[in-house]
Structure 1
Amino acid sequence: MQPKTHILVVDDDEEIRLLLDEYLSKSGFQVTTAEDGVEMELFIKAKGYPDLILLDVMLPGDDGFTLCQRVRRDSQVPIIMLTAVSDETDQIIGLEIGADDYIAKPFSPRQLMARIKALLRRAHIHEDRDEQPPRTIDFGDWRLDTLSQRMVNRVTNRHHDLSGSDFALLMLFLSKPNEVLDRDTISFATRGREALPFERGIDVQLSRIRNRLGKSTEFPHYIKTMRGNGYILSVAVEYGY
């Protein structure tokens, strides 16, 4: 029997923990809850990383941002940040430090489930693929290792380990080189949903990817903005198997 997908819920609100535990358990997930960063890190130390983490921003002691940064030092486990409904700053900071998505409180269980399933599909936890993805992808000065989700500059040997959402975004561009991708296409690939009006998350991700790619004399622009249409990866791509 295949083990259940394991979700770690980190929130200091006991009512929210109980509700999420009940709802997610009935939906077929294994659920562990923690009320703060201390309990979260004790669990990870004892059991290892779960398949997905729901992480509240406002926690006693170390806040969700700090905990997210610590997780990202060692793991690319999908992370959904639970944020205040009106605080766009929390949402942007969470994405900048490596969270994969955010959901604002109060949220509906169905909305949360849609976000969870989208991230798990992207993380290949519930998805059987008929086609084997390329082991490496070369583009410009860079080589992406699709198993480790690490990109290495073949000239300087500089490297970056990508979070799940950044890896999904880069893979989207690499699968469609020289093709214009609009914001909804990007949002579906990285979050499993259409882009929300005035959403800044895509801009944050694109900026982070562009900064990591940098530029060189031969490759001054990897991802170009096509004003009013979307974005395009403007370099040749080679796949290695």
Structure 2
Amino acid sequence: MANAKRLLIVEDDPAMRAMLHDILETEGYKVTSFGDAPEALEHMRRHGLPHLIIVDLGLPSYNGFELSRRIKQMGDVPIVILTGDSSPESKVLGIEQYAEDYITKPFNHREVLARVARILSRFADQSYAHEPLVTIDNHLAIDFANSALLRDNQRVALTPTEANLLYLLVGNRGKVVSSELLMARAWHNEEVYEETLRVHMHRLRRKLQPDSKGFQYIRNERGVGYRFITEEEVARH
């Protein structure tokens, strides 16, 4: 279980929550479950982000769409909406704005397991984001769940968009992430122009390294996208 994928369930019905917890845990996942949104958010702020989150829409404090919006401000964590609401409007909103999948109740256990496995297989290994503080090197650490970074032990706040961009780049460390993918994921399929991305990247670079002559973690691969890289990785090449 040491390398098991971490899943988080937010479901207010105790019987449904326990059933989901059991079938996913039996499949080998490390599962944590909560009955309402505030407790789930607080858990993530304290313990880091999971690999995938299952969200019910009808939660006591605020609905699953609002919870999903707040989660997406922390990082590009895959979300599965699991709900009794089968209306086309709800499905379209869920898929377009927040979720990788939308499953309506009642559901087949094997179907849920298959969909969860399919989604996890499509995402890069983002284990780096699943600790409260992610250390990049001796100068930089990132707190994704609280949208902040520590630069030489000084805390610097990140906007939700900056946190999302950094989450995507660090998750693909050393690889080029296309501008199209960054815009689609960080702005959740809203219409956005490449100039907007360039402005956000400039601000993010300044937060990571305010000295223009210092090491730059984010490299612009012209005409393609952006790459996150560390000094250690540069030295190896």
TM-score bracket relative to the smaller structure = 0.5 to 0.7
Aligned to 1:220: none
Deviations 1:12-56 (A, max 9, x none): 000011111111111000000000012111211211111100000
| CA-based RMSD | 2.9
> Among residues 108, 130, 135, which one is paired with 2:176 in the alignment?
135
Aligned to 1:98: 98
- TM-aligned CA distance change 1:213 to 1:160, over 3 Å: farther
TM-score when normalising by structure 1: 0.56
Amino acid paired to 1:150: L
Deviations 1:86-124 (A, max 9, x none): 322221121232221110011111111111011100113
Q: Any residues of structure 2 matched to 1:2-17 within 5 Å, and which? A: 2-17=2-17
C-alpha distance in 2 between matches for 1:79 and 1:114:
15
- TM-aligned CA distance change 1:28 to 1:36, over 3 Å: same
Aligned to 2:182: 150
Amino acid paired to 2:118: A
C-alpha distance in 2 between matches for 1:240 and 1:73:
20
C-alpha distance in 2 between matches for 1:93 and 1:136:
26
Aligned to 1:69: 69
- TM-aligned CA distance change 1:103 to 1:69, over 3 Å: same
Contact 1:83 1:91 in 2 (8 A): no
TM-score when normalising by structure 2: 0.57
For structure 1, the 5+ residue unaligned runs are 127-131, 138-142, 152-158, 164-207, 215-236
1:123 matched to 2:123? The reply is yes
Aligned to 2:186: 161
Contact 1:56 1:82 in 2 (8 A): yes
- TM-aligned CA distance change 1:57 to 1:96, over 3 Å: same
Q: Any residues of structure 2 matched to 1:197-212 within 5 Å, and which? A: 208=189, 211-212=191-192
Aligned length: 154
Deviations 1:56-88 (A, max 9, x none): 001111110100011111211100011225322
Give structure 1 regions of 4+ aligned residues with deviation exceeding 4 angstroms: 237-241
Amino-acid identity (%): 29
Structure 1 or 2: larger helix share?
2
